[in-house]
């Protein structure tokens, strides 16, 4: 084979938790797997996850009575009924397996201490006796939007512990990892995905990896919000954008963007929801605990969309603390005490000390909401198969598997990466066992040629166009200002026009550094158009969705509208087309009928048709589009009505 073509069974684009867990499953089934990553896998964004991973282990007193059905209920309510309920159900069933698996491979979970324990609940100190027989079991803490304490944690470094353990398994299995290597386009023949064109970030050279299955596990696209995100600088959404570029594979629910309530002001570094789970609270500039009045039932532990909105409103009303960088609120965890902070919230302690120069045991933490999580992504079915191209899969934050709908619950993402990694990895292994690698090498060489021309074009441009980082910063301001926590039709229209202008600017932008090899500016320039196109799908999708659901809040359409919008947005946009096209599919089979979430607004436009009618439409649509294919029969995992025992 040509030296510029490499062949493997499974190509996994992304070395975070989702990609690595998926690779382990494929390799364990005897297939050759190759992982690509922008950075050494242990520096993937998964490493930054702090507070916990949800799984209904029911090991401590406040988790008593928890089980996968209660976890399913919380997840669907958290999603504001935007989630695929079958997927949420599969997920809740398998999350406990994922947590125990991690314990088995070395994650040092924080443990239950039998006997008398001091906790803070809703800001009050309480004493609870943990059963002595539970001493030493995996412990759990409270998180937002859940009925039980369910977040398993390794202090506040859960992602770090999980990723190091999973990566050690990758090493043990001898899976090949090529870091500092970026997938820049997908190779396909219109119906099958054949692999990807990749670019070495050290030399700038391009080559192709041909594979029987290609898995995109590239994480979220938070960086389209510029500085207003808790995401790492590598979270630029390239996996989603190369799928979008095909014009064949749709992205799902791109307008569903999560804002996390507590990121440090002004750096945007996150402090975990575990701070509020362990008893911390939010204060305005007058040190008033506003969440008690605004959300009496869940207070600071309503879902993230609800808390972020209240915080944004409090600041709009002038009760934020003014600074040259804009207003912020306070997070108070002083009362929790240094001993707790330096053990169970150790990473928060360190972050406050290193990035703010304060001790959180003595001082208030300045926080404000910023972009945090991408619920949208490459639309896949239950098995992780992307729509449109056989042999293409997606998993983790890059995918819209769709257990989060319009709002992800804290702790459900780490769990998703591992649960979905295992499930999708099994399906990939099954797929690979049934196909042989037959690819037209001419298609691959053409794709390499196109990628090389793109890089050359950037390096040879001259003139006085804008710089790529200037365009990036302008995009962040537009996204946070006009496609943020509160959205209106007028502002979204403006955002669409302004992003359109940035796309034109991008076509004329020039580089300062013309080196073809190690050149971060060139690497970024090659991603910039994709980021702008993703941003456009978010803004246009948000403009089209004339309702409010979860994190998508339209001030001009403030009600959730289950009559017209109980559906998922799909967007296609081939690279050569001037504008994206939108369509919609039903959310999926409904088991828990739409209702009040138990926090946030109870006002909504109700669905008029019956759940049975809706479900018939779902099955019709799925059959029509051939999207039923799955290793499980449709709905086999959904034990209809099991939730009824838990809803009074
Ligand atoms: C600060 C912070 C704290 C969080 N805390 C929690 C928490 O406590 N609990 C929870 O459940 N969730 C948490 N989350 C969310 C969770 O961490 C992420 O959603 C999850 O880890 C994503 O994992 P992933 O494997 O999908 O992607 P990532 O971990 O982001 O990995 C993506 C991988 O793709 C690679 N990559 C990207 N593009 C390319 C390309 N084009 N070519 C090759 N490789 C590429 C990257 O190098 C990386 O290896 C947190 C998120 C943040 C930002």
Question: Is 260 in the active site?
Answer: yes
Rounded Cα–Cα distance for residues 537 and 549 (Å): 17
- pLDDT, tens digit, for every residue of 455-512? 999 999 999 999 999 999 999 999 999 999 999 999 999 999 999 999 999 999 999 9
Q: Which two tokens stand for residue 570?
A: 């799909």
- pLDDT, tens digit, for every residue of 155-165? 989 999 999 99
Q: 109 near 165, Cβ under 8 Å? A: no
Rounded Cα–Cα distance for residues 223 and 437 (Å): 35
Q: H or E element: which one contains 369?
A: strand 365-374
- By percentage, how much of the chain surpasses pLDDT 70? 98
Give yes or no for residue 591 having a pLDDT over 70: yes
Exactly one of 31, 160, 188, 276 is catalytic; which is it?
A: 276
Q: How does strand 251-252 pair with strand 399-400?
A: unpaired
Exactly one of 71, 150, 260, 310 is catalytic; which is it?
A: 260
- pLDDT, tens digit, for every residue of 98-113? 999 999 999 999 999 9
Rounded Cα–Cα distance for residues 187 and 439 (Å): 10
- By percentage, how much of the chain surpasses pLDDT 90? 92
- pLDDT, tens digit, for every residue of 17-59? 999 999 999 999 999 999 999 999 999 999 999 999 999 999 9
Q: For residue 22, what pLDDT is reported?
A: 98
DSSP at 321? B
Q: What sign results for the dihedral spanned by CA atoms 619, 620, 621, 623? A: positive
Q: Closest ligand 1 atom, CA of 158?
A: 8
- pLDDT, tens digit, for every residue of 347-395? 999 999 999 999 999 999 999 999 999 999 999 999 999 999 999 999 9
Q: What sign results for the dihedral spanned by CA atoms 538, 542, 544, 548? A: positive
Q: How does strand 206-216 pair with strand 193-200?
A: antiparallel
Tell me the pLDDT of the chain averaged across its residues: 95
Q: For residue 438, what pLDDT is reported?
A: 84
Rounded Cα–Cα distance for residues 431 and 468 (Å): 40
Q: Which two tokens stand for residue 330?
A: 């306070």
Residue of 12, 13, 16 best suited for mutating to test ligand 1, as the one with most atoms within 8 Å of CB: 16
- pLDDT, tens digit, for every residue of 244-263? 999 999 999 999 999 999 99
Other beta carbons within 10 Å of 233: 13
Q: How far is the CA of 220 from the centre of ligand 1 (A)?
A: 7
Give yes or no for residue 633 having a pLDDT over 60: no
Give yes or no for residue 550 having a pLDDT over 60: yes
Across 57-200, the runs of DSSP E, i.e. the strands, are 115-121, 124-130, 140-141, 151-152, 176-179, 181-188, 193-200
Q: For residue 624, what pLDDT is reported?
A: 81
Across 385-452, the runs of DSSP E, i.e. the strands, are 392-394, 399-400
Q: For residue 637, what pLDDT is reported?
A: 61
568 closest CA partner among 409, 420, 403: 403
DSSP at 9? E
Q: For residue 638, what pLDDT is reported?
A: 65
Helices (H) and strands (E) in the chain, counts: 16, 23
Q: In the Cβ-directed half-sphere of 545, how many Cα atoms lie within 13 Å?
A: 38
Residue 200: CB partners within 8 Å, gap ≥ 6? 180, 181, 206, 207
Nearest protein Cα to ligand 1, atom 21: 46
DSSP at 43? G
In Å, what is the CA distance from 271 to each residue of 107, 469, 646? 21, 27, 32
Count of residues making up the chain: 648
Give yes or no for residue 630 having a pLDDT over 60: no
Q: 237 near 14, Cβ under 8 Å? A: no
Give yes or no for residue 621 having a pLDDT over 90: no
- pLDDT, tens digit, for every residue of 276-299? 999 999 999 999 999 999 999 999
Rounded Cα–Cα distance for residues 186 and 444 (Å): 9
Helix (H, G, I), strand (E, B) or coil at 582: strand
Ligand 1 binding pocket, CB closer than 6 Å? 13-19, 36-39, 41, 44-46, 48-53, 158-159, 182-183, 217-219, 230-231, 234-235, 238-239, 270, 272, 372-373, 396-398, 411-414, 417
Q: Closest ligand 1 atom, CA of 270?
A: 1
Q: For residue 619, what pLDDT is reported?
A: 86
Give yes or no for residue 553 having a pLDDT over 50: yes
Query: What average pLDDT does range 407-429 have in this prediction?
Result: 97
18 closest CA partner among 211, 219, 175, 173: 219
Query: What average pLDDT does range 579-586 have in this prediction?
Result: 97
- pLDDT, tens digit, for every residue of 326-349? 999 999 999 999 999 999 999 999
418 closest CA partner among 434, 403, 433: 403
Query: What average pLDDT does range 188-196 have in this prediction?
Result: 96
DSSP at 318? T
276 closest CA partner among 353, 154, 360, 356: 360
Rounded Cα–Cα distance for residues 353 and 361 (Å): 11
Q: How far is the CA of 159 from the centre of ligand 1 (A)?
A: 9
Q: Which two tokens stand for residue 623?
A: 């059959």
Q: Closest ligand 1 atom, CA of 51?
A: 8
Query: What average pLDDT does range 123-148 have in this prediction?
Result: 96
Give yes or no for residue 441 having a pLDDT over 80: yes
274 closest CA partner among 398, 410, 414: 410
* 80-89, 174-183, 438-447: segment of lowest average pLDDT: 438-447
Q: Is 540 exposed, middle or buried (0-12, 13-18, 19+ CB in 10 A)?
A: buried
Q: 398 near 241, Cβ under 8 Å? A: no
Rounded Cα–Cα distance for residues 121 and 141 (Å): 11
Q: Edge-to-edge strand order for the sheet containing 281-283?
A: 257-264, 365-374, 329-332, 281-283
Q: Closest ligand 1 atom, CA of 397?
A: 26
Confidence of residue 642 (pLDDT cuts 50, 70, 90): confident
Confidence of residue 634 (pLDDT cuts 50, 70, 90): very low
Q: 229 near 479, Cβ under 8 Å? A: no
Residue of 218, 355, 534 best suited for mutating to test ligand 1, as the one with most atoms within 8 Å of CB: 218
Which ranges constitute the DSSP H helices of 483-581? Answer: 489-508, 520-544
Q: 23 - beta bridge partners?
A: none
Question: Is 408 in the active site?
Answer: no
Q: For residue 513, what pLDDT is reported?
A: 94
Query: What average pLDDT does range 502-523 have in this prediction?
Result: 95
């Amino acid at each position: 084979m040509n030296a510029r073509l490499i062949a493997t069974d499974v190509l996994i684009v992304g070395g975070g938790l989702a990609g690595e867990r998926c690779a382990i499953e494929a390799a364990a089934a005897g297939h050759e797997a190759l992982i690509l990553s922008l950075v050494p896998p242990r520096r993937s964004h998964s490493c930054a996850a702090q507070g916990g991973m949800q799984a209904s282990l029911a090991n401590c007193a406040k988790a008593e009575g928890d089980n996968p059905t209660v976890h399913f209920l919380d997840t669907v309510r958290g999603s504001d009924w935007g989630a695929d309920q079958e997927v949420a159900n599969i997920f809740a069933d398998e999350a406990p397996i994922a947590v125990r698996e991690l314990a088995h491979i070395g994650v040092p979970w924080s443990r239950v201490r039998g006997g008398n324990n001091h906790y803070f609940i809703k800001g009050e100190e309480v004493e609870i006796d943990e059963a002595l027989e539970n001493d030493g079991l995996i412990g759990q803490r409270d998180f937002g939007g859940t009925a039980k304490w369910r977040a398993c944690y390794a202090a506040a470094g859960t992602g770090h512990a999980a990723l190091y353990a999973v990566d050690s398994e990758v090493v043990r299995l001898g899976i090949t990892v090529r870091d500092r290597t970026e997938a820049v386009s997908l190779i396909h023949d219109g119906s099958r995905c054949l692999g990807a064109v990749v670019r070495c970030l050290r030399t700038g050279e391009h080559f192709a990896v041909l594979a029987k299955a290609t898995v995109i596990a590239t994480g979220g696209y938070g960086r389209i919000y510029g500085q207003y995100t808790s995401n790492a600088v590598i979270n630029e959404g390239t996996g989603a954008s190369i799928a979008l570029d095909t014009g064949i594979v749709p992205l799902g629910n791109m307008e569903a963007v999560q804002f996390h309530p507590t990121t440090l002001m002004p750096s945007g570094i996150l402090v975990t929801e575990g701070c509020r789970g362990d008893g911390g609270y939010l204060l305005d500039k007058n040190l008033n605990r506003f969440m008690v009045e605004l959300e009496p039932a869940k207070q600071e532990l309503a879902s993230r969309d609800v808390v972020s909105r209240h915080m944004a409103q409090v600041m709009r009303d002038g009760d934020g603390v003014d600074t040259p960088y804009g207003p912020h609120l306070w997070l108070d965890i002083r009362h929790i005490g240094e001993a707790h902070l330096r053990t169970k919230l150790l990473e928060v302690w360190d972050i406050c000390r290193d990035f703010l120069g304060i001790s959180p045991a003595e001082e208030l933490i300045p926080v404000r909401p910023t972009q945090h999580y991408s619920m949208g992504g490459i639309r896949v079915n239950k098995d992780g198969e992307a729509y449109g191209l056989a042999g293409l899969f997606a998993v983790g934050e890059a995918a819209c598997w769709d257990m989060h709908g319009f709002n992800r619950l804290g702790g459900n993402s780490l769990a998703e990466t591992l649960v979905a990694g295992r499930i999708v990895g099994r399906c990939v292994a099954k797929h690979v066992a049934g196909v042989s690698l037959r690819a037209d090498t001419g298609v691959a060489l053409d794709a390499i040629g196109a990628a090389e021309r793109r890089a050359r074009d950037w390096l040879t441009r001259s003139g006085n166009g804008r710089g790529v980082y200037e365009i990036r910063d302008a995009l962040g301001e537009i996204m946070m200002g006009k496609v943020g926590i509160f959205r209106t039709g007028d502002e979204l229209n403006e955002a669409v026009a302004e992003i359109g202008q940035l796309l034109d600017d991008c076509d004329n932008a020039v580089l300062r550094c013309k080196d073809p090899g190690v050149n971060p500016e060139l690497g970024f320039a090659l991603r910039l158009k994709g980021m702008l196109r993703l941003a456009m799908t978010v803004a246009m999708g948000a403009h089209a969705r004339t309702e409010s659901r979860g994190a998508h809040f339209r001030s001009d359409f403030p009600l959730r509208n289950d009559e017209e919008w109980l559906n998922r947005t799909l967007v296609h946009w081939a690279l050569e087309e001037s504008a994206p096209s939108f369509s919609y599919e039903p959310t999926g089979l409904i088991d828990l009928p739409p209702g009040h979430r138990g926090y946030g607004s109870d006002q909504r436009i109700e669905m008029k048709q019956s759940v049975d009618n809706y479900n018939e439409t779902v099955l019709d649509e799925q059959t029509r589009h051939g999207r039923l294919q799955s290793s499980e029969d449709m709905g086999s995992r959904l034990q209809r009505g099991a939730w009824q025992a838990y809803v009074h």
